[in-house]
Amino acid sequence: MIWPRPANRSGVIDVFTGVKRHLGAGLALTAVVLCSLAVLTSASVSETPTVRSACPPQYGGGGAGGWVPAASGIDGAGDTLVPGEPVAATICAYPGSNMKMGRERFAGSRLLADGVQRMARDLSYLPIARDDGWSCTMMGGPMINYLIRFDYPGGKSLWLGSAEEVNSCATTTNGTIKSRSYVGKTITAAYPPEIGG
């Protein structure tokens, strides 16, 4: 097919000017999209990723508190329950009864980022128990075992086990040291788990 020739050359110039304008706008839009992708990609990559392990499906201890999945290699874990400056904490809840303790099923969790250092500091002030001898009342009732995983920069973590128990008789431990100071009601009141989380 032969295209008709415009009567004057200004019509040809107008066609090329329109093509240039559309081509320029397309290139500018492409540049904006590519720059946005580069910014989003670089923003989504963290310099020190925190690796979060899931809450265990059931509580592995046989009492009220006093159990963690693994002892931590965090510096200071032999001197204080929660050493250093964790950046996040996940509270895992395992409700049950103190009449049949052990193997409670996971019921929910809550991730904390705000207030985690205050919580860690409060727990680190608990006195450390140096012996195993102590007695408790024997009233039966509900109990919630808690596992709290504190996450540190660089991917390290520390597990802390405690419980809320009707007799206020529970052990809090990081797997290396323990305390008999009762904090179960405080954990439940301040950080209630999101059931099913």
In SS3 terms, 80-108 reads as CCCCCCCCEEEEEEEEEECCCCCCCECCE
pLDDT in tens, 154-197: 999 999 999 999 999 899 999 999 999 999 998 887 666 565 54
**Which residues on neighbouring strands pair with residue 163, listed in sequence order?**
145
User: Could you tell me the two tokens for 1?
Assistant: 């097919």
Residue in the structure block whose two tokens are 């839009």? 29
Residue 51 lies in a domain: no
User: Could you tell me the two tokens for 159?
Assistant: 């597990």
Domain assignment of residue 14, given as a range: 6-45
For residue 139, what pLDDT is reported?
87
Residue 74: count of CB within 10 angstroms of its CB: 18
Residues 110 and 37 in one domain: no
| Distances from the Cα of 183 to the Cα of 8, 16, 108, 116, angstroms | 91, 78, 19, 16
Residue 53 lies in a domain: no
| Strands of 194-195's sheet in order across | 178-179, 172-173, 157-165, 142-151, 88-97, 108-112, 194-195
Q: How many domains does the chain have?
A: 2
For residue 138, what pLDDT is reported?
79
Residues 186 and 105 in one domain: yes
To the question of pTM greater than 0.75 for the whole model, the response is no
Residues 38 and 95 in one domain: no
Residue 134 lies in a domain: yes
Residues 16 and 110 in one domain: no
| Distances from the Cα of 95 to the Cα of 1, 10, 58, 153, angstroms | 82, 84, 10, 30
pLDDT in tens, 58-68: 999 888 888 99
pLDDT in tens, 43-87: 333 334 444 558 999 999 888 888 999 998 899 999 999 999 999
For residue 4, what pLDDT is reported?
39
Residue in the structure block whose two tokens are 């020739």? 5
